Amino acid sequence: MKFCSNCAAPVVKRVPPGDSLPRWVCDQCGEIHYENPRLVVGSLPEWDGRLLLCRRAIEPRYGYWTLPAGFMENDETAGQAALRETLEESGARVELGAPFSLISVPHVNQVHLFFCARLLEPDFKPGDETLEVALFDEAKLPWKDIAFRTVGLTLRHWFADRKRGAFSFHAEDIAPR
Amino acid sequence: MKFCSNCAAPVVKRVPPGDSLPRWVCDQCGEIHYENPRLVVGSLPEWDGRLLLCRRAIEPRYGYWTLPAGFMENDETAGQAALRETLEESGARVELGAPFSLISVPHVNQVHLFFCARLLEPDFKPGDETLEVALFDEAKLPWKDIAFRTVGLTLRHWFADRKRGAFSFHAEDIAPR
């Protein structure tokens, strides 16, 4: 059972007039409670040809490696979200470049966005949600222990683009396994 | 006053332990109700060098011209959202190209994403939220009656890119006026 956040009455899931999808509707105050995908924003922090990864200290995927990233917050831009998450998770200060990948993950109602980034100095330390932080070149990267498919895909594109000498923007979708 | 959608108890806005931002927190069931930016996704439907615009039949910006776009829904990819909104608002079937612009609008907690697109046939008609639909070349475009700054910015980039013969990806932020 769910309740209206405006008036505390129970809500029901049905298609409102003029709409085509079921929504949580409050018959007491009339409010329609929409649910929309969330943006997860992060960065690809580079130093001397290596990329900075964080080993997760939280679920999901405790102990696996990821790029610094997290849910975009209200009142910030996508770039500010990437800088904030990078600093929070890895202690690293970066200069952002262009957006590099945008990946829809519809089965979890997320869109992941990663920016190219350059470490301002080779200085980092794990934040509260991180066990360890390290720089990896392509050969040493823990490819089998990457936390999320969006991160693995983004990393593969990044090293492939670097090999051919030009970074481009990658838009993709990920389907359930 | 706001209420918990899980248990109907009143919620309070405060910084949860280990967090850095105030959230709506339920002291009865412990749920934290996060609020995050929403994605508005649309397309730039092109036919023979002209772009398709829709005149809005709803607020905000009733009567002003916009690209077909709307809130991305759960269970869909960004590309599916662009196709759906284009069809709903303009009756147009398009083939999507690459993402063209990604614009953060932090003061309304939105990120706008527009895809390049090509009309499959010059066939369109206004949907319920649209007064009229028309194709415009750059000179005839109603530049002074564009509904949203993200749309105006995206249109200017598109015609500028077309002039120089190459479409690239544009990431920007829009500040309050």
Residues near B160 by beta carbon (within 8 Å), at least 6 away in sequence: none
Concatenating the DSSP letter of every residue in B41-101 gives: EEEEEEETTEEEEEEESSSSSTT-EE-SEEEPPTT--HHHHHHHHHHHHH---EEEEEEEE
Here the ipTM equals 0.94
Q: Is the pLDDT of residue B20 over 90?
A: no
- Mean pLDDT across the stretch B26-40? 95
Residue of A nearest to B115 (CA): A171
Which of B101, B40, B46 minimizes the C-alpha distance to B72? B40
Which of B142, B172, B147 minimizes the C-alpha distance to B157? B172
Which of A71, A42, A98 minimizes the C-alpha distance to B101? A98
Read off the pLDDT of residues B101-111 as tens digits, 9 standing for 90 and up.
999 999 999 99
Nearest to A74 among B2, B37, B173 (CB): B37
Q: Compute the mean pLDDT over every residue in chain B, rounded to the nearest whole number.
A: 96
Contacts of B7 in chain A (CB under 8 A): 3
Best interface-test mutation with B: which of A13, A26, A31, A75 has the largest number of B CBs within 10 A?
A75
- Mean pLDDT across the stretch B107-120? 98
Q: How confident is the model at residue A20 (pLDDT cuts 50, 70, 90)?
A: confident
Interface of B with A in 26-85 (CB under 8 A): 33-39, 71-80
Residues near B109 by beta carbon (within 8 Å), at least 6 away in sequence: A74, A75, B35, B36, B37, B38
Q: Is the pLDDT of residue A43 over 90?
A: yes
Other C-beta atoms lying within 10 Å of the C-beta of residue B176: 7
pTM: 0.95
- Mean pLDDT across the stretch B150-172? 97
What pLDDT does residue A18 have?
83
Question: How far B140 CA sits from the closest chain A CA (Å)?
Answer: 32
**Lookup: tokens for B110:** 């939105």
Gap between the Cα atoms of B28 and A135, Å rounded: 43
Read off the pLDDT of residues B52-98 as tens digits, 9 standing for 90 and up.
999 999 999 999 999 999 999 999 999 999 999 999 999 999 999 99
- Mean pLDDT across the stretch A95-113? 98
